[in-house]
Chains A and B, each alone.
Chain A
Amino acid sequence: QSALTQPPSASGSPGQSVTISCSGTSTDVGGYNFVSWYQQHPGKAPKLIIYEVTQRPSGVPDRFSGSKSGNTASLTVSGLQAEDEADYYCSSYADFNILLFGGGTKVTVL
């Protein structure tokens, strides 16, 4: 049950885009479309921003988008805003009914 791999940090200036990768294997990210992304501000619970690889829950700005290629999923935040500064986690269903999370990426808006 290895965690998914995310870069520990990413940054961008307001208005720019930042992309976060989430690397797994064929038994998790690559094998299923049950990949989600969460945003977490300090002291708060995680908030779902992408589910099923590319889907956005209602109320989530379209600045947030998800994709997947092979065993790697990605989250792109376009038009960075100050309030996007947070920790971001990917998550995936894995073989044998396991739920995996990435180690998290801290996004800094410069």
Chain B
Amino acid sequence: EVQLVESGGGLVKPGESLRLSCAASGFTFSSYSMNWVRQAPGKGLEWVSSISSTSNYLYYADSLKDRFTISRDNRKNSLYLQMNSLSAGDTAVYYCARTFDVLTASPPDSWGQGTLVTVSS
């Protein structure tokens, strides 16, 4: 069974940084592209970033590419999201999600339970 478990969320102040992690199990992590998708309270889903299986290709939503960095460690079956210069608009549940199709940024199939990031002074 595919399992994706996010961690690292919490309450931070505007301007601070945070690093999210996603622990994967139940599948061959190194064979799949991965994504981060976020959902602000009461709002819809918003794509954040995607990374190919070997980290050769990194893709970001235009509005976030200057502040967010996606990475992975296939030896540890883990996905990461480094978020800098956080603002209230970044407050959301952040989901880790697996891509199953050939294109890195194609829609995911499996999702984690999400981790809540709250940016507030």
Contacts and interface: CB of A to CB of B under 8 A. Distances in A.
A30 interface: no
Interface core residue of B62, B63, B107, B110 (most chain A CB under 10 Å): B107
Contacts of A100: 47
Interface stretch (B9-17, B73-81, B84-92, B97-105): B97-105
A45 B113 contact: yes
A30 to B, nearest CB: 15
Interface residues of B, number: 27
A38 B97 CA distance: 13
Given A1-B61, A45-B112, A93 B45 contact: no
Interface of B: 35, 37, 44-47, 50, 57, 59, 61-63, 95, 100-101, 103-114
24 contacts: A1-B61, A3-B44, A34-B107, A36-B108, A46-B111, A47-B111, A48-B110, A51-B107, A89-B44, A89-B45, A93-B101, A93-B105, A93-B107, A94-B105, A97-B57, A97-B59, A97-B103, A97-B104, A98-B105, A99-B106, A101-B44, A101-B47, A104-B44, A104-B45
